[in-house]
Amino acid sequence: MQVTLASALRGYTQNREHVPASGATVDELLRSLDQSFPGIRFRIVDEQERIRVHIRIFVNRELAGLGSAVREGDDVRILCALSGG
């Protein structure tokens, strides 16, 4: 399936917004992404297996956690908080 990445993560994907990944859960999806783009998972998930505080993952527009199920064709988006100014 295709995963949509926030711009802050696209340094790992040669600036590609949509990248392929596979897995039955969000966690597996992120591990799959890390295989293709080494280092990207640690930017999203900390060493205690928590999604980082300024990141949200949505599956079909619903807020998801690492254990959330995903299926082929789902719309998966990894987004970063907006801040500053």
Partner 1 sequence: MGRMPRRPLPRKSLPRRRRAEGPRVALLVATRKGAFFYFANAARTRWRLEGPHFLGQIVNHVALDPRDGRTLLAAVRPGQLGPTIYRSADLGATWQEAKQPPAFARAREGERALAVSHTFHLTPGHSSEPGVWYAAVSPPALFRSADGGVTWAGVEGWNQHPMRFQWCPPEDQTPDGSIMHSVIVDPRDPSHLYVGCSGGGSFESLDRGDSWRPLNEGVEVDFGPERYPEFGQDPHCMALHPLRPDRLYQQNHCGIYRLDRPATRWQRVGRNMPPEIGDIGFGVVLHPRDPDTAWVFPMDGTSVWPRTSIGGQPALYRTRDAGASWLRQDRGLPREHAWYTVKRQAFCADSGDPVGIYFGTTSGELWMSPNEGRSFRQIAAHLPHVYAVTAVTPR
Which residues of this protein are in contact with partner 1, per CB under 8 A?
Answer: 6, 8-9, 38-39, 42-50, 52, 54-55, 80-81, 83-84
**Residue among 17 and 46 whose Cβ is closer to partner 1:** 46
Long-range Cβ contact pairs of 76-80 (< 8 A, separation 24 or more): 76/1, 76/2, 76/3, 76/4, 76/21, 76/26, 76/29, 77/3, 77/4, 78/3, 78/4, 78/5, 78/6, 78/9, 78/44, 79/6, 79/55, 80/6, 80/7, 80/8, 80/9, 80/54, 80/55
Question: What minimum distance in Å lies between the beta carbon of 72 and partner 1?
Answer: 27
- Least Å distance between CB 57 and partner 1? 13
Nearest to partner 1 of 11, 69 (CB atom): 11
